[in-house]
A and B are shown apart, each in its own frame.
Chain A
């Protein structure tokens, strides 16, 4: 029997705005499966995003959804979580939204280790505005604002999250569809800031400019570059050249922010 996604989708809101071949729809389905796995009460679940193609995702989900301003998802989400810690708070968005204009909010949410799950769809491009380079566009590649090739080095989002203090960091790709919901579900269950980076593709704005002939070719690339962390442990640096590690990259237990704050209130009120 086909999986029932429709119960979680707002009636009348499809079709979505994403282009054929875009990976965001795969992430939406993965997110729905993860929410089901975790048996989330959608009345008590906030899904928060910024601006961009990926940030349109909350509009389709039947939950408490908040489509904020560019880059600000993590900061809005922090406010919701602190005001109502009993709510499950999920953030979704793209690489430019989360790590360029929203970079400061992203790293500080990680630092606080606040109990939220941030799913960041990394398609290495600003898709909605027509394909400008983002902090994740690989060096040398073409974008509408790097006609001579991108001179910038990139952010490694997962490493950034680990360095900033997130306590659950995982990565997968749009090709590895079944891993998406497993990693997101694990992130939701994790107490603390969870970041799940999903590499996906923008055939329209990135693929076209960079001589990918088809969506299938782009998908195949995702399949080829992904190396599970477990497998990578047995590989040489040479063999790992050009590869991307997937799976749970980092996990630790550290005091969670809303709990810390609740304790502070108790301490103050007890005094």
Chain B
């Protein structure tokens, strides 16, 4: 992967999408020793509103630090989908949360849907890990870092007490995508 690969995580403020972006950037730049830049934009509100994090990954030094045309995008809410699921590269991909994005943006890219929040609630019992499920799903979809590198980065980031919870969430996101792709 010599060329730059751009991923955008978007949703509501407080959903942990910036954290997901940071973990992916760590997986790429610290665990895998590639180049990565993570950036975000946020409004003045700490919770709610539309928020996004972007990660650019490359085998070579990265010049422009912001996304140009994104290869892959995640949208957790309708507002985020409307605002940030734009400028996706032809042939790129978009992952949406089935329950919250009713009108998926249309374009020359593949749309995948998954009940991310519901999965977190029902299969893990904690909505808070939805971002890690989404991260697992995005890594499975894009293959931009290996499954193991992603997991290592997740575990580096979370407190000791939450390791099992996050390990489970990450695997779940990853497996759900594998099922989706097998269909």
A touching B, CB within 8 angstroms:
no
